[in-house]
């Protein structure tokens, strides 16, 4: 008869095998129903990967915003978003050929492996196999993150890199060698190459070294130098490229992002109007209101997204239990940093997705905390109700995992699949662009430029160069169109108030000739041709 330890090993092996099957199945299912990038960010990163594969690396053939109004088309890539997601997409296409499915291959590997990262970290933090394996399953049932996990986005990469930094942060303590600080520095560099705010991890790691009680001054300096060296080992090429292209470590225009009066200021043309003076002259009431709104939005994201949909009370309970664990303390410090940054410094970007993106690094910690919280809750209930504790923990843990999977599947089906799996909603995103081009005819020169809301997806679907709709009236729209030699403008319902009357037909403009209108998936699109100005027409 197999002894108890042998039986336990067999059960553990079976659960780990089930974790792998569940992770792989979920990854493949999510990838299957996302056959194209579809949304602005994912199209941006996928387009960057395509350019690398096609030998056009380092260039972009669209503008996403007007912060650097001097930019031409094509222009150097990654002026606003960082390059690592594009590099990962390109890696898949270099190995398997050009195409979105090929770009998803590295993400499928990362998504399948992520629950095992969470399991290992959970085992180390809690010492319990049962707590760790439940945390692994909860990390698969990632709630709202399931919508973006297998898209060419930064979410999954940031969850991996940020999670590794948090879980390895105890190794910055005095009893470990400097090489640990070097490798954590490398991870900090990769985090920054994934998201601009990833540089906060370097600040976090440096802070943990400075406050470490077991280190003397020499030890602190050595580890800080090792952190910096590792960071530059990963990101040094990026800075060298920026210096060569722009003459500065960071792309031009990025500093304006902190002085927005509203989100649409990202699309102000010219962006020279975005100044510190304009920000403060907008009034204290407006400044505070924007941050109050961001505070509410980011709190909701904390509860319903980082809280794994409905497990937020258990996450809080588990964090309270594990608050003395160095990795959990690091996670709480990081949360405080991004919450502050995305609420007070970048409130518009934070409430429009920045905090959601940055929070992906905390998903593994949240899963471990929820699992530990449930374990402790069941233990207390077992003593009160006189249950058999181990059986109750197993049954309730499985029940919560099933509920988490069900909630995540419901969100994914609602947001991605839709009512007809044979014609998934995500497969139809931006279909109007190709329909419209068929109406315009097939003889458009390759140099034809379009002005459209979703510049990145329009470009990768059609190959034409694009600039965004500016946040103003027809005069601003035409100023931007003239600056970038735009021939066609496509308006949809997501437009600034200054263009509302043009979209509704209450106003016209002599230089904007409506080519046609069309309704696609419940949204009306208006296509305009930009006519030459009187000066261009000549006498």
Q: Which residues contact 152 (CB under 8 A, 6 or more apart)?
A: 37, 42, 45, 46, 49, 85, 86, 89, 100, 103, 104, 107
Which of 113-122, 159-168, 270-279, 437-446 is predicted least confidently?
A: 437-446
Mean residue pLDDT across the chain: 90
Q: Are 62 and 48 in contact (CB under 8 A)?
A: no
Own/partner pairs, 393-398, CB within 8 angstroms, 24+ separation: 393/130, 394/130, 397/130, 397/134, 397/371
- Domains of the chain are 4-417 (no CATH), 430-537 (3.40.190)
Structure tokens at 357: 């993106």
Beta-strand relationship, 488-491 and 449-451? parallel
Q: What percent of the chain has pLDDT over 90?
A: 64
Residue pair 529/449 in contact (Cβ under 8 Å)? The answer is no
Residue 175 pLDDT level (bands cut at 50, 70, 90): low
Cα separations in angstroms, 105 against 24, 89, 116, 134, 243: 12, 8, 18, 26, 33
* Structure-token pair, residue 261: 């009066």
Report the alpha-carbon distance of residue 323 to residue 326 in Å, rounded: 8
* CA–CA gap between residue 373 and residue 384 (Å, rounded): 17
pLDDT of residue 522: 84
156 falls in which pLDDT band (50, 70, 90)?
A: very high
Query: Who's near 497: CB < 8 A, 6+ residues apart?
Result: none
Spatial CB neighbours of 314, under 8 Å, sequence gap ≥ 6: 369, 370, 371, 373, 374, 377, 400
Cα(37)–Cα(47) distance, integer angstroms: 10
Q: For residue range 192-239, what is the model confidence (pLDDT) as tens digits?
A: 999 999 999 999 999 999 988 888 888 889 999 999 999 999 999 999
Cα–Cα dist 333/156, whole Å? 21
- pLDDT digits over 66-106, tens only? 887 767 888 888 888 999 999 999 999 999 999 999 999 99
The top-scoring range by mean pLDDT among 314-318, 385-389, 391-395 is 314-318
Instruction: Give whole-number Cα distances, 437 to 48, 142, 433, 454, 514, in Å.
Output: 23, 38, 6, 15, 14
Helix axes of 363-385 and 129-140: crossing angle, nearest 10 degrees: 130
Q: Taking the CA atoms of 529, 533, 534 and 539 in sequence, report the sign of the dihedral they define.
A: negative
- Report residue 437's pLDDT band, with 50, 70 and 90 as the boundaries: confident
| pLDDT band (50, 70, 90) for residue 1 | very low
Alpha carbon of 70 to those of 107, 238, 258, 449: distances in Å? Answer: 35, 21, 19, 17
Point out which residues pair with 239 in neighbouring strands: none
């Amino acid at each position: 008869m197999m002894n108890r330890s042998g039986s336990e090993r067999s059960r553990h092996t079976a659960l780990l095998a089930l974790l792998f099957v569940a992770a792989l199945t979920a990854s493949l299912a999510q990838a299957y129903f996302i056959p194209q990038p579809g949304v602005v960010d994912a199209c941006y990163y996928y387009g960057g990967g395509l350019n690398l594969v096609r030998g056009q690396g380092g260039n972009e053939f669209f503008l996403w915003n007007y912060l650097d109004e001097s930019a031409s088309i094509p222009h150097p890539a990654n002026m606003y978003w960082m390059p690592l997601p594009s590099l990962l997409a390109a890696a898949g296409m270099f190995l398997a050929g050009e195409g979105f499915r090929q770009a998803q291959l590295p993400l499928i590997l990362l998504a399948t492996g992520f629950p095992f990262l969470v399991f290992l970290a959970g085992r180390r933090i809690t010492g319990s196999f049962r707590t760790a394996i439940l945390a692994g399953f909860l990390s698969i049932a990632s709630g709202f993150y399931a919508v973006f996990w297998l898209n060419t986005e930064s979410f999954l990469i940031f969850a991996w890199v940020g999670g590794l930094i948090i879980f390895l942060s105890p190794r910055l303590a005095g009893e470990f060698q400097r090489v640990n600080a070097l490798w954590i520095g490398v991870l900090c560099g990769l985090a920054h190459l994934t998201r601009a705010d990833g540089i906060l991890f370097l600040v976090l790691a440096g802070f943990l070294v400075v406050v470490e009680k077991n280190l003397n001054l020499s030890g602190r300096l050595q580890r800080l130098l090792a952190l910096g060296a590792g960071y530059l080992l990963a990101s040094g090429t990026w800075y060298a490229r920026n210096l060569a292209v722009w003459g500065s470590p960071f792309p031009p225009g990025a500093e304006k992002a902190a002085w927005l009066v509203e989100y649409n200021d990202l699309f102000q043309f010219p962006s020279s109007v975005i100044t510190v003076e304009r920000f403060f002259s907008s009034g204290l009431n407006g400044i505070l209101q924007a941050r109050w709104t961001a505070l509410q939005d980011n709190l909701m994201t904390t509860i319903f997204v980082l809280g794994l949909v409905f497990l937020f009370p258990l996450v809080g309970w588990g964090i309270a239990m594990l608050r003395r664990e160095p990795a959990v303390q690091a996670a709480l410090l990081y949360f405080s940093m991004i919450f502050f940054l995305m609420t007070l410094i970048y409130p518009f970007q934070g409430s429009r997705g920045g905090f959601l993106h940055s929070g992906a690094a905390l998903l593994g910690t949240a899963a471990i905390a929820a699992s530990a919280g449930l374990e402790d809750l069941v233990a207390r209930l077992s003593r009160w109700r006189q249950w058999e504790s181990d059986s109750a923990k197993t049954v309730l843990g499985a029940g919560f995992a099933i509920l988490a999977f069900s909630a995540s599947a419901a969100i994914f089906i609602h947001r991605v699949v839709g009512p007809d799996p044979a014609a998934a909603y995500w497969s139809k995103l931006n279909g109007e662009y190709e329909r419209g081009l068929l109406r315009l005819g097939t003889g458009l020169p390759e140099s034809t430029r379009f002005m459209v809301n979703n510049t990145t997806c329009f470009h990768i679907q059609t190959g034409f160069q694009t600039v965004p709709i500016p946040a103003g009236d027809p005069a601003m729209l035409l100023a931007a169109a003239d600056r970038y030699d735009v021939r066609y403008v496509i308006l949809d319902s997501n437009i600034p108030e200054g263009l509302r009357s043009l979209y509704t037909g209450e106003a016209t403009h002599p230089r904007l000739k409506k080519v046609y209108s069309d309704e696609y998936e419940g949204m009306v699109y208006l296509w305009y041709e930009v006519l030459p100005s009187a000066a261009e027409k000549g006498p």
